[in-house]
Chain A
């Protein structure tokens, strides 16, 4: 069966790499100390702007902090914001979308027109607007990014609800005299989750980029905090002399987002195959 194994591996290399990378990033976020013994905030004026070397694989920045360590510790912020904001957007999206899908047509129409207005603006603009209202800060960045992501989830949740609502099993439950609330909780919501889970996986990547973007503009966590967007923006002015300060955080943002997208698309294809 070794032929079968190589055959199975072929075409899945990208997926396996993506999953591995996400696992590593998740481990960095949860337990950064196993990757690096150094302190992300410790400055060392004797080691300013050192290029990548054995002791500092990603080099050091202008205050002599180890870039690798800062990137590792930054994972928790970026992933935290990405996962947290996506989860919050998902929950709100499911509740609002399901209610809209089940509501009388007038209410549904009003809600959907509102969602369409939100969708008409670029997500990032909405996030910026939310920050302008809430003020800068790490929690507000997560909130802003989540708010920006919600309309898309509402739409999908509503569309799935409309499909499931017309399904034979919802009619069957109704025919058995099951209470509508129970039908919604026991049949409708669980059966809309699969496609939502898939787009949420892809959404994590988008959210990380959006959060890093806000931080890059200085609207998120402030300087000593190691956050990928902030690291990128800090290294921006040094690109000519010390490319590594901005390069490695940038690479990690890119790889994480691409991996999340690869896994998400794979899940989607698997879901379509099943349907």
Chain B
């Protein structure tokens, strides 16, 4: 039976950089028509393991392996030249970012054709006539469900959407008819609805008999695709088994932690934990905080919203001179202590809206008021002293830090008013207190941004924002660059800030599950407009607008 033919067999793979072991005696196998998922957080060695299957380990890596069979050939002693012969022909690679992987100056068809020209038709090594190549390329693009393949083949990568680019990349990986496809985070850069389509495509290829190794940080993404899952941590496979088994009865504590940390729609350990936190009475209210249970305050909040956007519109000029509304007629009311999620796919105007709320950009139409006072369209010098009231937590904390500054200096920049003018000793104490409030050790004070981990950087960014005692935090994809376990801790932190300090949150995210855990209300955006809004539970459980329904349906779910 062809179904049982092994296309990848690797045992005792160890990769070292100098003295450091980054992949430690990893063994795995994949049969034709089977999909194996390697799941782990950054630094787990999952990508290096995948690269070893392609002979693409970086310089300076030393490799030891007992067995390395790829699509029937023993590749243990392969030179770079040998690898070039089988890459594309026996093993194909699909990487995370198609825009980077595709040559921007080459038409999509040429990208696919190149593989055929190198490896010949069906990987036979025989040269193919020109017309035959064109037909094969069109066939390949059609096979990965690219609409109008003949036309698309003549387009450049930037003319295609993210999903089509990823399909084109898969087509070029398949053009040499390899027996194995290595997909490294194939959907991470994609919108959730597009992600669902690409996952469907991969599942179809697997049914056609392709062996697939998919690398991902996201258990939910691979749960619907993979037959088996291998969980990696610190270079070792800590758990491996049939997907349903691993997800429903994880044996290793690390797998259990990963599952618990992953935010998901509906119920789950994470949702339970957050729900428990929300139910717990607010006992740690500090000066300036608001008791959400106090009726008097509630009334007051009803009368003057903290942040009020009405009929916001922001146009950008396209290269051809026509106008495109990135945000169109969006109204938003944020009361003190509220938490509002803004969800939508890339290009839906979420980030533009966030920038308008922060007055980093002024709207073409409509206005924003902060605390009842005009906030948009006023001169910057009138905004400056009020800027501390509304702070941004961005997706890229590293980029938001001056690379020359130490942690202490970064946080100090957020201090304002009396806190800024106080004695150096008091200021240092205040900085230490801020770092402590975001769960950072004072010993990090002297570090520079690049010496911190991703989670630590985001905490420093939050500490800096808190330094100015803001009343609203606008969070733009604050956790999407972080590992799930770190994500969970940052979400916990934001939840605690809201509960203990009464800071309102405007939480912009493409990740519905995260929003569901953190926000009471949600606003769904599409093409710059709000298509649906309301209480989070209601919108996600009973979506009314077809787009919201599609969005909710596309979220990968664990069995």
Contact = CB atoms under 8 A, between A and B. Distances in A.
A172 B399 CA distance: 9
Contacts of B438: none
A176 B402 contact: no
Contacts of A178: 413
Interface stretch (A16-24, A47-55, A163-171, A234-242): A163-171
Contact of B404 (A173, A174, A190): A190
B464 A176 contact: yes
B105 to A, nearest CB: 23
B138 interface: no
Contact of A191 (B380, B404, B413): B404
A25 B414 CA distance: 47
A64 B391 CA distance: 76
B468 A169 contact: no
A169 B392 contact: no
Q: Which of A174, A175, A177, A190 has the most CB of B within 10 A?
A: A175
A184 B384 CA distance: 15
B104 to A, nearest CB: 21
Interface in B302-331: none
A176 B396 contact: no
Contact of A175 (B387, B402, B403): B387
A171 B416 contact: no
A197 to B, nearest CB: 14
B394 interface: yes
A266 interface: no
Interface in A89-148: none
B360 A169 contact: no
B400 A169 contact: yes
Given A176-B414, A176-B468, A177-B386, A168 B399 contact: yes
Given A168-B399, A169-B399, A171-B360, A176 B388 contact: yes
A38 B51 CA distance: 68
Contacts of B392: 171-172, 175
A175 B464 CA distance: 11
A179 interface: yes
A177 B384 contact: yes
B358 interface: yes
Nearest to A190: B404
Given A168-B394, A190-B404, A175 B358 contact: yes
A56 interface: no
Interface string B373-402: 000000010011111100110101011111
A265 interface: no
Contacts of A174: 360, 387
A167 B398 CA distance: 11
A219 B404 CA distance: 44
Contacts of A191: 402-404
Q: How large is the interface on A (under 10, 10 to 19, 20 to 34, 35 or more residues)?
A: 10 to 19
Contacts of B391: 175-176
A171 B400 CA distance: 7
Given A175-B387, A177-B388, A179-B384, A169 B402 contact: yes
B385 A172 contact: no
B413 A177 contact: no
Contacts of A186: 402
A177 B511 CA distance: 30
Contact of B400 (A172, A180, A190): A172
Contacts of B387: 174-177
A180 to B, nearest CB: 8
Contacts of B403: 169, 191
A233 to B, nearest CB: 46
Contacts of A187: 402
A211 B384 CA distance: 49
B48 to A, nearest CB: 22
A171 B391 CA distance: 11
A166 to B, nearest CB: 10
Contacts of B464: 172, 176
A131 B360 CA distance: 48
Contacts of A179: 384
A172 B409 CA distance: 13
A180 B401 CA distance: 17
A168 B400 contact: yes
Contacts of A190: 402, 404
Contacts of B396: 168
A168 B400 CA distance: 4
A179 B399 CA distance: 20
A178 B401 CA distance: 14
B384 A175 contact: no
Contact of A177 (B399, B404, B416): B416
B404 A175 contact: no
A177 B386 CA distance: 7
Q: Which of A168, A176, A180, A186 has the most CB of B within 10 A?
A: A176
A176 B404 CA distance: 18
A172 B401 CA distance: 8
Nearest to A171: B360
B400 A177 contact: no
Contacts of B401: 168-169, 172
A129 to B, nearest CB: 39
Nearest to B355: A171
A174 B401 CA distance: 12
A191 B401 CA distance: 12
A261 to B, nearest CB: 27
A270 to B, nearest CB: 15
Q: Which of A168, A172, A174, A178 has the most CB of B within 10 A?
A: A172
Contacts of B380: 180
Contact of B468 (A167, A171, A177): A177
Nearest to B359: A175
A191 B391 CA distance: 24
Nearest to B413: A176
A182 to B, nearest CB: 10
3 closest A-B pairs by beta carbon, nearest first, are: A168-B399, A177-B387, A168-B400
Given A168-B398, A172-B401, A177-B416, 10 more contacts: A168-B399, A171-B392, A173-B413, A176-B387, A176-B391, A176-B416, A177-B383, A180-B380, A186-B402, A191-B404
5 contacts: A168-B399, A172-B394, A172-B401, A180-B380, A190-B404
Interface of B: 358, 360, 380, 383-388, 391-392, 394, 396, 398-404, 413-414, 416, 464, 468
Interface of A: 167-169, 171-180, 186-187, 190-191
